[in-house]
Amino acid sequence: MRHTRVAIVTGASRGIGRAIALRLARDGMAVVATARDEAALNSLIAEIKAGGGKAAWTPLDLRWPDTPSTLVEFALETFGRIDIVVNNAGATRRGDFLTLTDDDWEDGFALKFFGAMRLTRTAWLQLEKNSGSVVFISGIGGRTPGAEFAIGGSVNAAILSLTKALAERGIQEGVQVNTINPGAIRTDRFANRLRNYRNEEEFVREHGIVRVGEPADVADLVAYIVGPSGRFLQGSIIDLDGGETKTI
């Protein structure tokens, strides 16, 4: 008997996470969505169900150590299994290194790194049981850090290292682990960055990219990775950035 695959998507209330949740649901998966914005989550689930999909949501703050266990328990109680974990939650503060505080650094790691690590660790046995997949949504700053992105670059680099470590374990235990590094994607955070430019065309020229990405671009790549055609990907770190990353 073929089971419906169940995907946990964090940071699913808007932007990239929302697009991923919608795409996986459209592909026939049951989606467990989490974020802190209850109204946005409710709207997402309503849209998925209106399209005939299966979904459930629970508002959680993954910065707290016990929250991943709550999320895994919710997924198992609701749908009975976990096949995919998409670690998308987390934003870090930009700023001058000398003025960024310890609290800024701790908050940057608390959600995007520790939240993702704990959730993956808590769900691992289920993923092993179901030959599941983990996808981290990191960022190109982990490869090419910048002075104003010291926290984000450090967090993203840690995720890239974690990807390689877990992928090696996953080979032995049947768990697929990969990371996507988005570049400039049209989200609320990108809109804030764009205020420093006259228009989008200037941003594209200055960054040497083909265009600004869409949340659906990331969602499409996630769908490919966790689908049957992407199974040969293991420990892969994929820059989805329109050509912005120039380093090898």
Q: Mean of the pLDDT values across residues 216-238?
A: 98
Mean confidence (pLDDT) of the chain: 96
Among residues 5, 4, 54, the alpha carbon closest in space to that of 33 is found at: 54
Per-residue model confidence (pLDDT) at position 1: 59
113 has pLDDT over 90: yes
Q: Mean of the pLDDT values across residues 128-142?
A: 97
What beta strand segments (E) does the chain contain? 6-10, 30-35, 54-59, 84-87, 133-137, 176-182, 237-240
Report d(CA 103, CA 81) in Å as an integer. 36
193 has pLDDT over 90: no
Q: How confident is the model at residue 96 (pLDDT cuts 50, 70, 90)?
A: very high
Per-residue model confidence (pLDDT) at position 3: 87
pLDDT in tens, 33-79: 999 999 999 999 999 999 999 999 999 999 999 999 999 999 999 99
pLDDT in tens, 19-28: 999 999 999 9
Q: Mean of the pLDDT values across residues 172-180?
A: 98
43 Cβ partners below 8 Å, 6+ apart? Answer: none
223 has pLDDT over 70: yes
Per-residue model confidence (pLDDT) at position 154: 96
Per-residue model confidence (pLDDT) at position 247: 87
Report d(CA 86, CA 133) in Å as an integer. 8
Per-residue model confidence (pLDDT) at position 192: 86
145 versus 9: which is more confidently predicted?
A: 9
DSSP-derived pairing of the beta strands 176-182 and 237-240? parallel
Q: Mean of the pLDDT values across residues 101-127?
A: 97
Contact 63, 78 (CB under 8 A): no
Per-residue model confidence (pLDDT) at position 232: 98
Q: Mean of the pLDDT values across residues 187-216?
A: 93
Mean pLDDT lowest among 42-56, 181-195, 216-230: 181-195
Which amino acid, residue 28? G
What residue ranges do the domains of the chain occupy? 6-240
Architecture of the 6-240 domain:
3-Layer(aba) Sandwich (3.40)
Q: Mean of the pLDDT values across residues 205-233?
A: 97
245 has pLDDT over 90: yes
